[in-house]
Amino acid sequence: MTSAETPVLEADGGAGAANYTKAILNILDDLGEERGRQADSQRAILNVLEDIDAEKAQLEATQKAILNILDDFDEERTRVKEANADLQAINEAMRGFVAVAAHDLRSPLATMVGFASHLTANWATLNEEDRRNFVAAIERQSQKMSRLVDDILTLASIEGGGLNMRPEVIALREAIDRCLDAGDGDTASVSVSCSPDLVVRADPQHLGRILGNYVQNAFKYGQPPVRIEAARVGDVVEVRVLDHGPGVPAEFVPRLFAKFARADTASTRVEKGTGLGLSIVRGLAEANGGQARYEPNAPNGACFVVRLRHADRSGR
């Protein structure tokens, strides 16, 4: 190589180095861009994964909402089923009530019409004793009809909020004695345990109706001896009417004070009733600020309880 060629080689070597450097820089730029694209791709993948997680969460929330709706549907279906069963039971009880009420109205009415017609047609030929007996029979049947109509009207007043209330201070023992004196059948045999100083505040007619229904119930569906016990328990007075009959079947107890409710027992099949008596008792007791309930009488029989507000002679 001559001395003249040396600068040319040096010049070519410098250009090659520059090109090499430039190529390396281009490669580095390409790598940077690739890294950028990879970073963008990674961010896009992360965004997709986040969207998938959000969609999954939304799907889970939707699924949970659907399950809640299905649960609500099941609960509603159960409530509707129970309501239908209750309505069916009420309809059955209502039909039984209508049948009994129709019989209890028709039977005394037919008796009254029969005796009245006989009296009208044969008054002159009947002796005084027969006339009295016929008139007494008409009176008994009219009272029976009056009690049934009174039960229906009382229940309507209780449910309609139009119950006539005249509360006053009542000596409980006197109220019990009046109830037994006015009762039919063997009420004179009822034993009573009640202090003469025991006083309650209630409507006297309502109290008499409660006691009368309890006592009639004891004789109608229970067995003697029948006993009335009364005692003060804190701020209330508890009156208990006990008999020694078969008692109330356990499965029927929750419906005992419902309208038209009548247990299917030997005694109820023999003794017909409208199923209004205990419902009226509960309504009257609550209207006077008290409670009515049932509990078994040990070792056998029924115990019907009414709790009323205690008062002293001054009315406090």
DSSP states along 190-248:
-EEE--TT-EEEE-HHHHHHHHHHHHHHHHHHS-S--EEEEEEETTEEEEEEE--S---
Q: In angstroms, what CA-CA distances link 116 with 102, 132, 137, 298? A: 21, 12, 10, 48
Q: How many residues does the chain have?
A: 316
Backbone angles phi, psi at 5, to 5 degrees: -85, -20
Say which residue, 12 or 258, is predicted with more confidence: 258
Backbone angles phi, psi at 276, to 5 degrees: -100, -20
- Fold annotation for 168-309: Heat Shock Protein 90 (3.30.565)
Q: HSE of 98 in the Cβ direction (CA atoms, 13 Å)? A: 6
Residue 41: helix, strand or coil by DSSP?
helix
Question: What is the C-alpha to C-alpha distance for residues 12 and 7, in angstroms, rounded to an integer?
Answer: 9
**Mean per-residue pLDDT of the chain:** 84
Domain boundaries, the chain: 92-160, 168-309
Say which residue, 181 or 269, is predicted with more confidence: 181
pLDDT of 3 strictly over 80: no
Mean pLDDT over 199-211 rounds to: 95
Mean pLDDT over 45-73 rounds to: 87
pTM of the entire predicted model: 0.62
Residues 92-160, CATH architecture:
Orthogonal Bundle (1.10)
Residue type, 105: L
